[in-house]
Structure 1
């Protein structure tokens, strides 16, 4: 395996430190959950009915614009697959894609990508990678705190 390794590819000047910077927080409201048993596990669909966005992005979650399409596996872990549409206070649109997992003990993490118009004031999100930590806020409500990976 060593023949594929070049010592220079691990030099300190080529490897950046990793860090996290708070970016924004999204609170999602959901319609009642729809569940279907499949051979792969329990398919879960949750329609987003609204919500708020605070932090470096301020605005609202577009109701009925997206949802969560997840799979609860036999071991109780849910593979999260979520899509969120956001409209900021000036009317600009952003799309958030969440992929991750939620355990039965409440541990809920997603990796996220955000898309925005390259001409918008939110173009800073383009090409960045976010980590989201989610916590249920109430029945049918979920809050996700997003951190930019540095």
Structure 2
């Protein structure tokens, strides 16, 4: 486990915002982490009879990527470990970057909805090679938040 993952796991266990545990994070990052929405998070056994690893609900996280850095907002709904809905909101202001983020946002539901959250890892999609890194970052944050 990397040092970053250990910090995040420790912070999550202690109930501290994961972004606050990472050195160099700003107060704005911590506020973004605490602004995530989560609903319907009571522990449950799935209809298949197995214990779910992630609490059902709707989660929101910002995914960061690139050298500038760039970001996208991801809202994702989980039900019995399956992604049932996803929405990506572009944050780019440069027209070319915004175009890549918008194309990615339009394509991502067809790729992830209906799939187990632990099986999703997105690579180049809709001509974008950077935006998937932001999506994967947000997905990791959501999975950490949803972990039981």
TM-score (norm 1): 0.41
User: Which entry has the higher C-alpha Rg, 1 or 2?
Assistant: 1
What TM-score, normalized by structure 2, do the two folds share? 0.41
Which structure has more strand as a fraction of its residues? 1
